[in-house]
Amino acid sequence: MSNESLLENLSHGNKRIVSRVISLIENDNQKSEELISQIFSKTGNAYRIGITGPPGAGKSTITNQLTKLYASQNKTVGIVAIDPTSPFTGGALLGDRVRMTEIGMNDGVFIRSMASRGSLGGLSRKAVDAGDVLDAAGYDYVIYETVGVGQSELDIVEAADTTVVTLVPESGDSIQALKAGLMEIGDIFALNKSDRPGAETAISSLKSMLQLKFHTENDWIPEVLQTIASENKGIETIAEMIDKHRMFLTETNELSLNRLKQTKKRIEDIVLEKVKLTIKSKEFNYGFKDLDTLPDQISSPVQIANYIFKNLTNNKEVDVGN
């Protein structure tokens, strides 16, 4: 099928095509670059929600309940799950998996999982691209579910308009979240598993940690909520807070500004990735054959690195001999 007919048929009413297009853009080749470029011009209508947090905090459960809520309001939802332990990806307990993949049976719900096993190189970019496909297909909401433990995962939630950070009452969880940079990126904090002991203490320590963050008068002050996702408690409040944040972003024009910032960051990431691939490719001339041909005794790594860098930036072929 040509790009044109794929694009023509790309709609949330046709999950097979949605799935096919995502598979195509997962490859790195000229056709996929053309396709994702054509798709980009059709994006901007979906509202993107990032759900992140430590493993087991209840991200998938919240995603599931929130999706059910949206579906009951006749909204369509596309989910991109990047978490090898996610029930959506085939991980987790069988019961959870069955319960959570059920929502995928709904006509207006599409679930795509991308495994982050092994190398994360390029995965965050692909996950964001997959969100573009869902946006262009006309889904009202795109939800990125990602475990909040690394830079690549944080890159993905950066592509969201609203980020929900999920934590649990267990002591130290909010300290860990602080270390992982989650305090910086959360617009809404959901203290899930509030049926467990320590919820009140965790809420107050979470709130005081967030107060340490500098706010100006015009900033969004993160909302802190208690949820019991497994019992569907607090999910409507999350949805209300997402709406509230969306309204704030729209009124302050930050929605467009943030999206522009994200787009610029995506450009930068693509450039950096391409530079990296070029340097690693066999055709690239280091100034000597390749790193394997360096002498066994290396006098100064930084000197050699500088030489290679100069060679790269000058795009000159120099033979250093040895």
Ligand X SMILES: Nc1nc2c(ncn2[C@@H]2O[C@H](COP(=O)(O)OP(=O)(O)O)[C@@H](O)[C@H]2O)c(=O)[nH]1
Residues that bind Mg ion (CB under 5 A): 59-60, 83, 86
Binder of ligand X out of 3, 85, 101, 258 (CB under 6 A): 85
Q: Which does 135 bind (CB under 5 to 8 A by kind): ligand X, Mg ion, none?
A: none
Nearest to 304 by CA among 129, 293, 106: 293
What does the alpha-carbon distance between residue 300 and residue 285 come to, in Å, rounded to a whole number? 20
Site residues for ligand X, 242-281, by CB under 6 A, read none
Q: Which x/- pattern over 92-121 shows residues binding ligand X (rule: CB under 6 A)?
A: xx--x-------------------------
Site membership for ligand X, residue 193 (CB under 6 A)? yes
Site membership for ligand X, residue 80 (CB under 6 A)? no
Q: Any idea how long the chain is?
A: 322
Minimum Å gap between C-beta 151 and ligand X is 19
Binder of ligand X out of 192, 241, 288, 308 (CB under 6 A): 192
Q: Which does 55 bind (CB under 5 to 8 A by kind): Mg ion, ligand X, none?
A: ligand X
Question: Dihedral of the CA atoms 166, 170, 171, 175 (nearest 10)?
Answer: -20
Q: Please state, as a whole number, how many other Cβ atoms lie within 10 Å of the Cβ of residue 57.
A: 25
- What the block records as the tokens of 294 is 């360096």
What does the alpha-carbon distance between residue 118 and residue 66 come to, in Å, rounded to a whole number? 29
Determine contact, residues 177/165, Cβ cutoff 8 Å.
yes
What does the alpha-carbon distance between residue 158 and residue 258 come to, in Å, rounded to a whole number? 9
Q: Which range of residues in 28-36, 89-97, 198-206, 257-265 is near ligand X by CB under 6 A? A: 89-97
Nearest to 7 by CA among 47, 36, 44, 46: 36
Q: How many residues belong to the site for ligand X (CB under 6 A)? A: 20
Minimum Å gap between C-beta 58 and Mg ion is 8
Determine contact, residues 239/206, Cβ cutoff 8 Å.
no
Site membership for ligand X, residue 146 (CB under 6 A)? no
Binder of ligand X out of 229, 238, 242, 255 (CB under 6 A): 229
Structural element, H or E, at residue 87: none
Residues of the shown chain interacting with ligand X in the complex, contacts defined by CB under 6 A: 53, 55-61, 85-87, 92-93, 96, 192-193, 195, 228-230
